[in-house]
C-alpha cells in the first residue's frame, strides 16, 4: 500500500511540473451595442466597407515587446515519505510488493502475506517489506505478530525517520487493537519523536 502511495505521489508531482496553458479571456461586449449597431441594411454594409481602415494602428504598438522568458525550476520536489533506497530494491522484491498490495486491496490477506514472506526471504534487510507484512498481520487481527515484525523493522530502518515514524504508528494501532492503551500511547510518542 505504501509503495502504491509512493507511485501515486510521483505521478502527481510529475503532473504538477508541466507548464499551464493560457487561454485568452472571452468577453461578451454585446450589451454595449445599440440596435443600430446590431442590424445593418445593405446600404449600411456598402458604406461600412468603404470606411474600413487599411491596417492596424502601429503607433500604439511602439515600445511593446513580446518576449517569452522560460521559467527554470528552482528545486526538484520529491515526496517526503519516499523510501531512502527504493532504487536499491531488486525488481523481484518490487514486483512482490506490488502483487502483495493488489492482493491486500482485494482482501486476500493470505496471498498478500505469502508474497511478502517471499520478498522478506529475498531482501531480509528491507524495512519496507517488514512494514507491509506487519500491516497485513494487523489487518488479519494477529496483533502481537504485527508488533514483533514492526519492531524488527525499526532496527533495519537505519536513518530513515519517516519509515520509523510509520512503523511506530503501526505498532500503536496494533497495541490499541489488542487493548494495550498504555503501549499504544508509548508507541505514538515514539512516532512523534521521528516527525509529524
pLDDT of 48-70, one tens digit each?
A: 555 555 555 566 566 666 666 66
Contacts 24+ apart (CB under 8 A), 139-146: 139/104, 139/109, 140/109, 140/113, 141/177, 143/174, 143/175, 143/177, 143/178, 144/174, 144/178, 146/170, 146/171, 146/174
Number of domains present in the structure of the chain? 1
Q: Is residue 118 part of a domain?
A: yes
Positive or negative torsion for Cα 57, 63, 67, 69: negative
Q: Is residue 157 part of a domain?
A: yes
Look at 195 and 102; give whichever has higher pLDDT: 102
Neighbours of 64 (CB within 10 A): 6
pLDDT of residue 4: 56
Question: How confident is the model over 61-120, as pLDDT tens digits?
Answer: 666 666 666 666 555 555 555 444 455 788 999 999 999 999 999 999 999 999 999 999
Positive or negative torsion for Cα 26, 31, 33, 38: positive
Residue 40 has, within 13 A of its CA and on its CB side, a CA count of 10
Q: Which CATH number goes with the domain that contains 133?
A: 1.25.40.10
pLDDT of residue 85: 46
- Note the pTM of the prediction, 2 decimals: 0.56
Q: Is residue 35 part of a domain?
A: no
Which residue range is the domain that position 112 belongs to?
Answer: 89-193
Q: Is residue 161 part of a domain?
A: yes
pLDDT of residue 34: 60
Q: Is residue 53 part of a domain?
A: no
Amino acid at each position: 500500500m505504501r509503495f502504491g502511495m509512493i507511485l501515486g505521489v510521483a505521478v502527481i508531482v510529475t503532473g504538477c511540473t508541466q507548464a499551464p496553458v493560457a487561454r485568452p479571456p472571452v468577453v461578451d461586449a454585446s450589451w454595449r451595442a445599440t440596435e443600430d449597431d446590431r442590424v445593418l441594411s445593405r446600404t449600411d454594409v456598402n458604406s461600412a466597407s468603404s470606411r474600413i481602415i487599411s491596417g492596424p494602428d502601429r503607433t500604439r504598438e511602439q515600445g511593446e515587446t513580446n518576449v517569452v522568458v522560460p521559467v527554470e525550476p528552482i528545486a526538484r520536489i520529491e515526496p517526503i515519505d519516499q523510501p531512502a533506497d527504493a532504487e536499491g530494491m531488486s525488481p523481484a522484491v518490487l514486483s512482490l510488493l506490488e502483487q502483495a498490495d493488489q492482493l491486500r486491496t482485494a482482501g486476500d490477506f493470505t496471498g498478500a502475506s505469502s508474497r511478502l514472506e517471499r520478498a522478506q526471504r529475498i531482501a531480509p534487510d528491507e524495512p519496507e517489506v517488514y512494514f507491509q507484512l506487519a500491516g497485513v498481520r494487523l489487518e488479519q487481527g494477529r496483533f502481537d505478530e504485527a508488533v514483533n515484525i514492526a519492531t524488527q523493522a525499526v532496527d533495519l530502518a537505519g536513518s530513515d525517520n519517516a519509515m520509523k515514524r510509520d512503523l511506530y504508528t503501526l505498532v500503536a494501532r496494533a497495541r490499541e487493537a489488542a487493548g494495550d492503551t498504555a503501549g499504544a500511547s508509548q508507541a505514538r510518542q515514539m512516532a512523534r519523536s521521528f516527525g509529524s
